Amino acid sequence: MSEKTVLVTDYTWSSTEAEAAVLAAVGAGLVVAETGEEDELVELVREADGILTCFAKVTGRVIRAGERLQVIGRYGIGTDNIDVAEATRIGIPVTNVPAYCLDEVAEHALAFLLALARGVCTYDRGVREGDWSLTRAAPINRIAGRTLGIVGFGKIGLTLAGKARGLGLDVIAHDPHVPEAVRDAGVESVSLEALCARADFISVHVPLTPETQGLIGERELRSMKATAIVINTARGDIVDQDALLEALRKRWIAGAGIDVFVPERLPADHPLLAQANLVATPHVAFYSEESVHDLEVLAAENVAAILSGRRPTSVVNPEVLELSRWADLDRDQG
């Protein structure tokens, strides 16, 4: 029997073989939750040395129940499903995987852009209904020469900017935290107000924080061009969903491509899903066979590092590692 145990709260891919292999190398085995609900996790975490989590909520109650808990690893970039503040208070490092699915998310954003700008879904529905007319999705304008506004210029925003230029798009960006990175990429740094007013396509790539919750709301949507398209592959709470529904209904904007919702699984009869100018996908922008394998391995390697006395590659609360309990971590690793 494995000396250590890692609790997997949830996952969306076919198996956990890749992470099991990584963790077996440091004497750890996996226990996989059935539902990922809080009560179940509270019971399972009592015997766990680490957690790997995808979308399940790792609440303060779950964290406090982990009597042996040493590390919480996120399958992904954002950590809004983890009570990082409570983990930090207790002294537990929280890890993530910031450098994966960059191409996938950028490509998904561009897929939304192209599908909406070219009327692909509208024409597809028309053909299936016997309507072969050009006018069903008209007017359509050339994409080259139009402006893409990127909100958030981290690794994904930077990747998207490069790909967008290949389509002949002009790129502007808003990120008050890294304006120099925007300029270094040869992209014009603008205020959010200017971006909303100028962009033909607006793609959101910021993490969900108290600062970014509702960042794109009624005021921003009303200030956009009537021909604008909004794309969100980040987190549902960043774009005010009620305001977006009104914007699509009343044609403040031309359309939206949304991969993330609140709640994550909207009921089939939700009015947002009835809007013909919405293209929706089920939080899959991160997905490719290659990116999922990378994610499994990198997330497991972060957890394995802590369990074997090494520094992980990425820690979202690095101040924890300065505590005396982590003084013996090998600082040459990670």
Please tell me the predicted confidence (pLDDT) of residue 333.
47
Burial (CB < 10 A; 0-12, 13-18, 19+), residue 39, is exposed
- Residue 113's nearest CA partner among 164, 59, 158 is 164
pLDDT of residue 88: 98
pTM reported for the whole predicted model: 0.88
What separation in angstroms does the CA of 249 have from each of 116, 172, 272, 323?
16, 27, 9, 53
Residues in the chain, how many? 334
Topology match between the domains 4-99+289-326 and 102-280: yes
d(CA 222, CA 217): 9
| 197-214 mean pLDDT | 97
Tokens representing 234 are 């980040």
- Give pairs for 144-147: CB < 8 Å, separation 24+: 144/168, 144/169, 145/169, 145/170, 146/170, 146/200, 146/201, 147/171, 147/172, 147/198, 147/199, 147/200, 147/201
Which of the following CATH numbers is that of domain 102-280: 1.50.10.10, 3.40.50.720, 1.20.58.1180, 1.10.1740.10?
Answer: 3.40.50.720
Distances (CA, A) of 329 to 194, 309, 311, 322, 332: 47, 5, 6, 10, 9
pLDDT in tens, 120-150: 999 999 999 999 999 999 999 999 999 999 9
| Arithmetic mean of pLDDT, 19-44 | 98
E strand map for 182-307: 188-189, 201-204, 229-232, 255-258, 278-280
Q: Could you report the per-residue pLDDT of 251-265, keeping only the tens digit for each?
A: 999 999 999 999 999
pLDDT above 90: percentage of residues in the chain: 96
Overall average pLDDT of the 31-35 stretch: 98
How far is residue 227's CA from residue 266's CA, in Å, rounded to a whole number? 26
**Catalytic residue list:** 235, 264, 283
Q: What is the pLDDT of residue 330?
A: 78
The first and second tokens of residue 260, run together, are 């993330």
What six digits make up the tokens of 116? 């909406």
Residue 233, Ramachandran bin (φ over 0: left; ψ between -120 and 50: alpha; else beta)? alpha
Which H helix or E strand runs over 296? helix 289-307
The pLDDT, as a whole number, for residue 2 is 57
Report which secondary-structure segment, H or E, holds 45: none
Say whether pLDDT at 18 is over 70.
Answer: yes
Max CA pair span of the chain: 70
Q: How is the chain split into domains, by residue range?
A: 4-99+289-326, 102-280
pLDDT-derived band of residue 1, with 50, 70 and 90 as boundaries? very low
**Mean pLDDT, rounded, for 219-237:** 98
Mean pLDDT across the stretch 306-325?
96
Question: What is the DSSP code string of 167-189?
Answer: TT-EEEEE-TT-HHHHHHTT-EE
Does the structure show a pLDDT above 80 at 332? Answer: no
Q: Which CATH architecture has domain 4-99+289-326?
A: 3-Layer(aba) Sandwich (3.40)
CA-based angle 221:227:232, to the nearest 5?
Answer: 50
Contact 208, 215 (CB under 8 A): no
**pLDDT, tens only, 153-204:** 999 999 999 999 999 999 999 999 999 999 999 999 999 999 999 999 999 9
Q: What is the mean pLDDT of the chain?
A: 96
Mean pLDDT confidence for 285-292: 96
Rounded to the nearest 5 degrees, what angle is found at the Cα of 172, between the Cα atoms of 166 and 174? 135
User: How confident is residue 268, by pLDDT bands cut at 50, 70 and 90?
Assistant: very high
